[in-house]
C-alpha cells in the first residue's frame, strides 16, 4: 500500500498528464466557466502583490490548527476519580450522557462547598 507521499506524487503526475492533454478549446471553456463563477473570481493585482509564500513554520502551524475538532473555549479535563460502585451504576442507568450528568450534579453542589 503506497504511503501518502507516493499517493500525492501519483496524483500530481496524473494532473500534469491531464493538463498536457488538454486542448485549447477545453482550456478556454474552463477559464470561461471560472470567470462566470462569482465565488472563483481571479485575484486583482493588489491582492496578488500582497501575497507571499508561507514559511515552513507557518505551513506547519496551519496544518496543526486545521486538524481535528475546533478547540473549546473552556475545555474539560480528564481526571481519574474513584467512586462507589452503587453511585456509578446509578448514573450509568440513566443512559447515554451519564458522565455529563455527574458533572452537572457536581456543579449544582459547588456553591455549597467552601472556597
Dist. CA 107–CA 97, nearest whole Å: 15
Residue 110 maps to a domain? no
Model confidence at 115, pLDDT cuts 50, 70, 90, reads: low
As for how many domains the chain has, the answer is: 1
pLDDT digits (tens, 9 = 90+) for 74-101: 888 999 999 999 999 999 999 999 999 9
Q: In the chain, how long is the greatest CA-to-CA distance?
A: 78
Domain membership of residue 32 (yes or no) is yes
Range of the domain at 27: 4-42
Whether 21 is covered by a domain: the verdict is: yes
80 is a domain residue: no
pLDDT of res. 2: 61
Residues 8-55: tens digit of each pLDDT: 889 989 999 999 999 999 999 988 888 888 888 778 889 889 998 889
What do you get for the CA distance between the two ends of the chain, in Å? 58
Residue 112 lies in a domain: no
Q: How far is CA 15 from CA 19, 38, 46, 47, 73, in A?
A: 6, 25, 29, 27, 41
Whether residue 87 is contained in a domain is answered as no
Amino acid at each position: 500500500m503506497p504511503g501518502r507521499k507516493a499517493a500525492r506524487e501519483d496524483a500530481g503526475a496524473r494532473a500534469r498528464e491531464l493538463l498536457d492533454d488538454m486542448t485549447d478549446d477545453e482550456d478556454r471553456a474552463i477559464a470561461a466557466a471560472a470567470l462566470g463563477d462569482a465565488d472563483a473570481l481571479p485575484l486583482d493585482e493588489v491582492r496578488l502583490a500582497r501575497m507571499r509564500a508561507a514559511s515552513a513554520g507557518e505551513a506547519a502551524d496551519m496544518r496543526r490548527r486545521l486538524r481535528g475538532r475546533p478547540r473549546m473555549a473552556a475545555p474539560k479535563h480528564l481526571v481519574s476519580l474513584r467512586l462507589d460502585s452503587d453511585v456509578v451504576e446509578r448514573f450509568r442507568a440513566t443512559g447515554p450522557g451519564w458522565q455529563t450528568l455527574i458533572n452537572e450534579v457536581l456543579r449544582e453542589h459547588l456553591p455549597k462547598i467552601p472556597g
